[in-house]
Amino acid sequence: MNMPNSKLDAEALYQALAKLVKTGVSKLDNIAVVGIYSGGAWLAERLAAELQLKDRLGFIDVSFYRDDYAEKGLHAEVKPSQIPFEVDGATIILVDDVLYTGRTTRAAINELFDYGRPARIMLAALVDRGGRELPISADFVADTVSLEGKQQLVLHRAADGRFSLTVDHA
């Protein structure tokens, strides 16, 4: 998709992503879902419910693990990471809303290893916007979008839980 000015249908993208993940993990054991705050956490909550893995759902905030922490600083709201299951030997579905440079994914993987050694980590992203700075790719991605350098794709969650996407200008 190369239409950054049009309204992206986040609900349709989520349904496509969920279908890909369900098919991709159907024969795997010891699965857990971990969402990266905040958009990835919202997606992970819904995905874990659909996969019937609510007791195998975790969340991570990668703020302190980013290699660009000094220049980015803290988000307005830092949330504590919560991994309430055994990471050792688990197949982790790491969920993020937008895959861009790969730095958030790298930070999330580093943090996951502080909790144990997973058997496998698979990345699920709602949207891949390209622009990778690290050799990271998603195992599951609903769509690819081209944006200009200063544009950001932002996932929102309404009070009723429905998702929407906007293109913001930084």
Q: What is the pLDDT of residue 7?
A: 58
Q: What is the pLDDT of residue 88?
A: 97
Query: Tens of pLDDT along the chain (170 residues)?
Result: 444 444 589 999 999 999 999 999 999 999 999 999 989 999 999 999 999 999 999 999 998 786 654 455 545 456 789 999 999 999 999 999 999 999 999 999 999 999 999 999 999 999 999 999 999 999 999 999 988 878 899 999 999 999 999 998 86
Give dist(CA 153, CA 114) in Å, integer. Answer: 29
Give domain status of residue 1, yes or no: no
Looking up residue 55, the CATH number of its domain turns out to be 3.40.50.2020
What is the DSSP code (8-state) at residue 81?
A: -
pTM recorded for the entire structure:
0.90
Give domain status of residue 153, yes or no: yes
Give domain status of residue 2, yes or no: no
Q: What is the pLDDT of residue 6?
A: 47
Give domain status of residue 146, yes or no: yes
Give domain status of residue 93, yes or no: yes
Give domain status of residue 101, yes or no: yes
Q: What is the pLDDT of residue 63?
A: 83
Give domain status of residue 3, yes or no: no
Which of helix, strand or coil describes residue 104?
Answer: helix
Domain count, the chain: 1
Contact 148, 167 (CB under 8 A): no
Domain range for 92: 10-68+77-169
Cβ burial 110-127 (10 Å sphere, 16+ → b, else e): ebbeebeebeebbbbbbb
Q: For the chain, how long is the longest CA-to-CA vector? A: 43
* Tokens linked to 32: 């857990």
DSSP string, 13-73: HHHHHHHHHHHHHTT-SSEEEEEETTHHHHHHHHHHHHTT-GGGEEEE--GGG-TTHHHH-
Q: What is the pLDDT of residue 4?
A: 44
Give dist(CA 45, CA 76) in Å, integer. Answer: 22
Q: What is the pLDDT of residue 52?
A: 96
Q: What is the pLDDT of residue 156?
A: 95
Contact 127, 20 (CB under 8 A): no
Give dist(CA 59, CA 40) in Å, integer. Answer: 9
